[in-house]
Amino acid sequence: MVSRESLHSLHDVALLTGIEESKIRYLENEFHDYFKLKQLDLRGSYFDANQVSVLSQLHRLMTEQKLSVSEVRHFYGHLFSERRKKVKMVAVTSGKGGVGKSTVTVNLAIAAAQRGLRTMVFDADLGLGNVHVLTGIQPQGTVLDVLAGKITMTQALAEGPANIKILCGGAGVSELANLNREYLAFLTRELERLAFEFDLILMDTAAGIADGVVQFLRLADEIVVVATPNVASVLDAYGVVKVARQAQCGGQIHFLINQVDTLQQSLGVFNNISSCTQRFLAYTPQYLGHLLRDPAVEQAYQARRPLVLSHPTAPNTLLFHEVSAKLFAEILPRKKRRNKDGNNQGFPSQAVQERVGRELC
């Protein structure tokens, strides 16, 4: 998973961070349970980039911010439990390719960010990722660099439009499309750690029902299946529901019907799929909404400027906002509540909380 070259010895970490070796061992001991909680178990003599980064943070908090061990522990525990359970993971997928998954992912992410959610897009199409193309960004690093242990997940995140962060996929690297168990476990842990920084993670998967897709569907709290009126797309969408249910994916499955001419047409498509899943799988998916077939979507794609930004009053932009309000309804009010009474424990003080919050995020 992480190559040996990207691991550092105790001596190297001391040189890199300026923390004495004995102090590193001390931090390891004091915060052993915290490392475990973050699934950053120390591997004895060697440290990876994430561990070094957390050790540096801890050291800074105790020296520059002059916090005691118990204050730092309090904050890590508090932030972890408060934030982790609030991140929502949504997978956008489809049976047939080219139906609009990436378009939907990027535009929903921007609509969510415009509603105040801290949003990340993970281009989980590891073989042919193109979220960077749609958003007009130049990736500095990709998920493949994270998997190779060259950079941390946080370092790999690119700044996208409307303040979204983007973890780019690995275009043209087909051998990683199906991650082995070890890679996947590592990636899952890394994504979970981002619960500190985001309210919402949207995953744009590859098309189809290969293991490489299902592995990401399993991580999702909600699964959005994009389908069009095309017969193959309808049949393949049924296949996605079947495989997701067989693979015991826990997320609720929603349907977003793209490239329709009318609402009625989209309801017809959804009813066809839904009656099949009810009959053969005893499962009823949710109807999430529809998007119209509109050349403006392709224009935005070509201009590398997502539709909700380039065409703020286009019919599909309004539909993206409707869908986002519906799909993320649960997390919007909770975020407001947290802002209002997020500091109700009285320890440590507000000023210290803000200082530590800045340090950790």
Ligand X SMILES: Nc1ncnc2c1ncn2[C@@H]1O[C@H](COP(=O)(O)OP(=O)(O)OP(=O)(O)O)[C@@H](O)[C@H]1O
Contact positions vs ligand X (CB under 6 A): 94, 97-103, 125, 207, 258-259, 291, 293-294, 297-298, 301, 316
Nearer to ligand X, 10 or 173 (CB): 173
Q: Cα separation of 232 and 228, whole Å?
A: 9
Q: How far is CA 254 from CA 257, 274, 287, in A?
A: 10, 10, 6
In angstroms, give the least distance from the CB of 123 to Mg ion.
8
Please report where in the chains the tokens 């099949």 appear, as a residue: 276
By CB under 5 A, tell whether 258 contacts Mg ion: no
Tokens in use for 230? 């095309």
Return the amino acid letter for 233. S
Nearer to ligand X, 20 or 298 (CB): 298
Nearer to Mg ion, 50 or 102 (CB): 102
Question: Judging by beta carbons within 10 Å of its beta carbon (0-12, 13-18, 19+), is residue 174 exposed, middle or buried?
Answer: exposed
Q: How far is CA 276 from CA 19, 94, 236, 338, in A?
A: 62, 16, 12, 41
Q: Give the binding-site size for Mg ion (rule: CB under 5 A).
A: 2
Q: Which residues pair with 8 in a beta bridge?
A: 47
In angstroms, give the least distance from the CB of 206 to ligand X.
6
Helix residue spans in the chain (DSSP H): 10-17, 21-30, 32-37, 49-63, 69-84, 101-114, 131-135, 143-147, 153-156, 181-193, 211-217, 231-246, 263-281, 295-303, 307-310, 315-327, 331-341, 350-360
Q: Cα separation of 24 and 27, whole Å?
A: 5
Nearer to ligand X, 106 or 153 (CB): 106
By CB under 5 A, tell whether 50 contacts Mg ion: no
In angstroms, give the least distance from the CB of 31 to ligand X.
41
Nearer to ligand X, 310 or 343 (CB): 310
Return the amino acid letter for 307. L
Residue 315 contacts which entry, Mg ion, ligand X, none (Cβ below 5-8 A, type-dependent): none
In angstroms, give the least distance from the CB of 105 to ligand X.
8
In angstroms, give the least distance from the CB of 132 to ligand X.
12
By CB under 5 A, tell whether 17 contacts Mg ion: no
Residue 298 contacts which entry, ligand X, Mg ion, none (Cβ below 5-8 A, type-dependent): ligand X
By CB under 5 A, tell whether 51 contacts Mg ion: no
Binding pattern for the stretch 96-125 against Mg ion, x by CB under 5 A and - elsewhere: -----xx-----------------------
Question: Judging by beta carbons within 10 Å of its beta carbon (0-12, 13-18, 19+), is residue 349 exposed, middle or buried?
Answer: exposed
In angstroms, give the least distance from the CB of 361 to ligand X.
31
Q: Cα separation of 300 and 134, whole Å?
A: 8
Residue 170 contacts which entry, Mg ion, ligand X, none (Cβ below 5-8 A, type-dependent): none
Question: Judging by beta carbons within 10 Å of its beta carbon (0-12, 13-18, 19+), is residue 210 exposed, middle or buried?
Answer: middle
Nearer to Mg ion, 124 or 191 (CB): 124
Nearer to ligand X, 35 or 301 (CB): 301
CB 255 within 8 A of CB 286: yes
Residue 182 contacts which entry, Mg ion, ligand X, none (Cβ below 5-8 A, type-dependent): none
Nearer to ligand X, 92 or 120 (CB): 92
Binding site for Mg ion (CB under 5 A): 101-102
